[in-house]
């Protein structure tokens, strides 16, 4: 069943005695709506291009549903922002996608890509819900979250049905309940090192999945970028992803656990870019930004010193890469300034 998400009315009022006063948008609401519009305007470009080159009818259906959701989310965010007197960002437009470009990715990759970006959407919308003060906006983000989860379930079902789903490793059921008795439970570099526990495996697997998908995205972006500075940025991103992928894979292999194969074979040899360099740099910067959150989650659920050290180092590497991406966008005049607080110091000088 497809969840019908209608654009939310922006006329919500709060009663104060007998007078109804419109509730202004809070900074949290403006920030999340701005991010939702920007992200989904990008998604519309990417998914419209994917739909030009898809042969499998089942995969086409989930791509079409993803595009419908991106259209609806962007339009509703636009309605709320402009209805409250906020300027709408430019985002990404027809100029950022070349629908006539040859195929760059295989059909199977589209499912992995939807899962990769869908997890980011679930994180953004899930965090937004409790922060929203106005009921209409809270309901909007609740619908965004529900719809994205529904899409992710459809993607997972289709990956499984097509034989493309790679499951996390299996571990034996414990014979009995036990308690940790010695600090060696935390060992990772020296002494008696225990096997990985379930949540450590979970987050290693999740980040391996992200890295495998990200690497394929970067391979395609590397061979189609027009500007050399941008191409070098993608090459460096690929090096970072492969290094982190190798470290996480070795952690699993030490305990005889299976890993996730790379997906680079799902990239064609086309060198014609379907996307603007601006879109591609923003895309990778945004997804690496989300990587800091998934690495932070992994860090918080890990206890072995070697595992926590790896994720802490990854966060620093990814943060530096994101900063370089922001500098590239600024150099090229591509970065839109997000809404920000008033500069009281500047105002006082006027």
Q: Name the residue ranges covered by the structural domains of the chain.
A: 26-161, 184-332
Query: Span 113-134, mean pLDDT?
Result: 96
Sign (positive or negative) of CA dihedral 311, 312, 316, 317: negative
Sorting pLDDT into bands at 50, 70 and 90, what band is 8? very low
Residue 323 pLDDT exceeds 90: yes
The contacts of residue 239 (CB under 8 Å, 6+ apart) are none
CB-based contact 48:97 (threshold 8 Å): yes
Choose the CATH number for 26-161 among 3.40.50.11540, 1.20.1260.10, 1.25.40.10, 3.30.470.10: 1.20.1260.10
Provide the pLDDT for residue 176: 87
CA torsion 92-97-99-101 (nearest 10°) is -170
180 against 243, higher pLDDT? 243
Fold match between domain 26-161 and domain 184-332: yes
How far is the C-alpha of 124 from the C-alpha of 299, rounded, in Å?
19
Provide the pLDDT for residue 132: 96
Lowest mean pLDDT among 69-78, 181-190, 311-320, 334-343: 181-190
**Homologous superfamily of the 184-332 domain (CATH):** Ferritin, core subunit, four-helix bundle (1.20.1260.10)
Query: Span 266-283, mean pLDDT?
Result: 97
Residue 14 β-bridge partners: 21
> CA 137 → CA 9, 175, 245, distances in Å?
9, 48, 38
Residue 21 β-bridge partners: 14
How far is the C-alpha of 350 from the C-alpha of 343, rounded, in Å?
11
Q: What would the pLDDT profile of 48-58 be if each residue is shown by its tens digit?
A: 999 999 999 99
Query: Span 304-330, mean pLDDT?
Result: 95
Residue 135 pLDDT exceeds 80: yes
State the pTM of this model: 0.90
Pick the closest to residue 303 from 175, 218, 188, 213 (CA basis): 188
Residue 152 pLDDT exceeds 70: yes
The contacts of residue 200 (CB under 8 Å, 6+ apart) are 298, 301, 302, 303, 304, 307
CB-based contact 71:51 (threshold 8 Å): no
DSSP per-residue codes, 236-303: HHHHHHHHHHHHHHHHHHHTT-------GGGB-S--S-SB-HHHHHHHHHHHHHHHHHHHHHHHHT--
Query: Span 283-306, mean pLDDT?
Result: 93
Q: What would the pLDDT profile of 215-251 be if each residue is shown by its tens digit?
A: 999 999 999 999 999 999 999 999 999 999 999 999 9
Pick the closest to residue 295 from 309, 313, 311 (CA basis): 311
- The overall average pLDDT reported for the chain is 91
Provide the pLDDT for residue 341: 87
CB-based contact 29:59 (threshold 8 Å): no
Provide the pLDDT for residue 186: 76
Contacts of residues 235-238 at CB distance under 8 Å and 24 or more positions apart, as own/partner, are 236/321, 236/324, 237/284, 237/288, 237/321
Residue 252 pLDDT exceeds 90: yes
- Percentage above 90 pLDDT, the chain: 83
Query: Span 315-341, mean pLDDT?
Result: 94
How far is the C-alpha of 272 from the C-alpha of 93, rounded, in Å?
19
How deeply is 2 buried, as exposed, middle or buried, from its count of CB atoms within 10 A (0-12, 13-18, 19+)? exposed
């Amino acid at each position: 069943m497809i969840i019908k998400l209608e654009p939310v009315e922006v006329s919500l009022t709060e009663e104060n005695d007998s007078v109804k006063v419109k509730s202004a948008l809070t900074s949290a609401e403006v920030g999340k709506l701005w991010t939702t519009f920007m992200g989904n305007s990008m998604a519309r470009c990417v998914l419209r291009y994917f739909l030009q080159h898809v042969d499998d009818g089942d995969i086409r259906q989930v791509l079409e549903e993803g595009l419908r959701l991106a259209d609806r989310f962007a339009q509703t965010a636009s309605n709320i922002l402009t209805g409250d007197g906020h300027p709408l960002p430019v985002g990404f437009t027809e100029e950022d996608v070349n629908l006539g470009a040859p195929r760059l990715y295989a059909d199977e990759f589209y499912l992995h890509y939807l899962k990769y970006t869908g997890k980011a959407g679930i994180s953004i919308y899930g965090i937004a819900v409790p922060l929203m003060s106005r009921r209409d906006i809270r309901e909007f983000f609740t619908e965004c979250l529900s719809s994205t989860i529904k899409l992710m379930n459809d993607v997972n079902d289709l990956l499984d049905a097509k034989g493309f789903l790679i499951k996390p490793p299996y571990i034996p059921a414990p014979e009995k309940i036990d308690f940790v008795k010695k600090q060696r439970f935390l060992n990772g570099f020296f002494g008696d090192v225990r096997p990985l526990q379930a949540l450590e495996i979970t987050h290693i697997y999740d980040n391996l999945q992200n890295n495998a998908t990200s690497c394929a995205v970067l391979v395609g972006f590397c061979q189609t970028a027009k500007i050399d500075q941008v191409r070098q940025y993608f090459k460096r991103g690929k090096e970072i992803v492969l290094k982190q992928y190798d470290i996480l894979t070795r952690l699993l292999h030490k305990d005889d656990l299976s890993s996730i194969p790379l997906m680079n074979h799902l990239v064609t040899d086309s060198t014609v870019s379907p996307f603007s360099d601006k879109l591609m740099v923003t895309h990778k910067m945004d997804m690496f930004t989300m990587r800091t959150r998934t690495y932070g989650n992994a860090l918080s659920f890990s206890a072995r010193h070697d595992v926590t050290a790896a994720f802490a180092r990854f966060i620093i590497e990814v943060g530096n890469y994101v900063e370089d991406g922001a500098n590239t966008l600024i150099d090229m005049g591509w970065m839109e300034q997000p809404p920000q607080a008033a500069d009281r110091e500047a105002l006082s000088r006027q």
